[in-house]
Amino acid sequence: MRIAVIGAGLAGLTAARTLHDDGHSVVVWEKARGPGGRTSTRRGPDGMRFDHGAPFLHDGPLALEGLEALGTYAVNLPGGAVRREVVGIPSANAPAKALAHGLDVRPLARVETILRAGDGWHLAGEDGGALGSFDSVIVTAPAPQAAQLLAGAAPRLAARAADVEFAPCWSVMAAWGSPLDLGFTATEDIPGIACAVADGAKPGRTAGERWVLQADEDLSTAYLDVDADEVIDLLLARWFERVGRRADPVHVTAHRWRYARPRTPLPETYLREDTLLVAGDWCGGASAGAAVRSGADAAATLVAA
């Protein structure tokens, strides 16, 4: 079969990898510059990198096990507690890049329309440009975007996707030029900040005092449409209060995830109508592991066909 996968996040790439290895011809369309989706890494000045999407991979990223780009490390929490977390190595997007290796991934290619064409599907990009015809399509965009994409071709699937609510998240990335000597490498005890994670403490990263502060759902929702500078000031003020001193970062920036985590995921791990499938973390969970499982299950149903 000739199969199109829309989205090069963990769900899409897990599906694409499985189908490619099963001998199918697979093209992955991705609107961003590279693979990763919400397991993403942002470059800053002087070679700085920040995992500004998922800081950790939760819920057993099953099919990813065995990837060299994946490992665990001990996170030091305030008060001396230690928690083991799974992360991409050397960056959050490394597992996605490893999955994408050898696949036909087309970056900077946003799919705008899916049209039924005989027994298959026709995809069009921006300005209606033809992207090709496929026997099967797997859509793995976050639910609100999937709902728009599916509206014309599969209204029933679009309606299921439209029912899924997503929570936003503001991520602030900050770097300091000298050690802060905090005694912990992650904390979840700052009001309004779901987690603050030291990127330099993760395995395979260059050392350095780089932190990602992720606003919680309430704060992210309340500040969804304000300027990034306002969010940076607010989160840094709370950070300074927590660490007990004001030390201005040498670099700071922010990213708004309008669709960060599914609030009301579907019970099914994928949806299917004929040869049009839908997968993603919001099918069956709300984590990186759920995304992998969803992509694997969607691919398995095509392999079995």
Q: 9, 120, 208, 265: which one contacts ligand FAD (CB under 6 A)? A: 9
Could you say which DSSP state residue 285 is in?
-
The residue to which tokens 């989205």 are assigned: 7
Residue 8 lies near ligand FAD (rule: CB under 6 A): yes
Q: How far is the CB of 290 from ligand FAD (least distance, A)?
A: 6
SS3 state at 64: helix
Of 46 and 195, which CB lies nearer to ligand FAD in the complex structure? 195
- Residue 7 in the binding site for ligand FAD (CB under 6 A): yes
Here's the x/- map for ligand FAD, 62-101, by CB under 6 A: it reads as ----------------------------------------
* Residue from 56, 121, 166, 223 in contact with ligand FAD (CB under 6 A): 56
> C-alpha distances in angstroms, 255 versus 8, 14, 162, 186?
19, 26, 24, 19
Instruction: Count CB neighbours of 81 within 10 A.
Output: 9
Helices then strands, counting H and E runs in the chain, come out as 7, 18
Per CB under 6 A, does 29 bind ligand FAD?
Answer: yes
168 in contact with ligand FAD (CB under 6 A):
no
Site for ligand FAD contains 211 (CB under 6 A)? no
Calculate the alpha carbon distances from 22 to 137, 147, 185, 304 in Å.
16, 29, 41, 10
Backbone angles phi, psi at 167, to 5 degrees: -95, 145
Closest CA to 174 of 120, 235, 117: 235
Task: Determine contact, residues 24/2, Cβ cutoff 8 Å.
Answer: yes
Nearer to ligand FAD, 23 or 201 (CB): 201
Is residue 214 close enough to count as binding ligand FAD by CB under 6 A?
yes
Interface characters, 140-159, with ligand FAD (x: CB under 6 A): xxx--x---x----------
| Of 4, 26, 55, 93, the one binding ligand FAD by CB under 6 A | 55
Instruction: Output the smallest distance, CB 13 to ligand FAD, in A.
Output: 7
- In 3D space, the residue among 257, 273, 285, 251 whose CA is nearest the CA of residue 159 turns out to be 273
Q: What angle do CA 218, 202, 287 make, to 5 degrees?
A: 45
How many residues touch ligand FAD under the rule CB under 6 A: the total is 39
Residue 79's Cβ-count burial label (10 Å; 0-12, 13-18, 19+) is: exposed
169 binds ligand FAD (CB under 6 A): yes
> Does residue 171 belong to the site contacting ligand FAD (CB under 6 A)?
yes
> Using CB under 6 A as the criterion, which residues of the chain lie in contact with ligand FAD when the complex forms?
6-12, 29-32, 37-39, 53-59, 110-111, 140-142, 145, 149, 169, 171, 214, 257, 260-261, 280-281, 287-288, 291
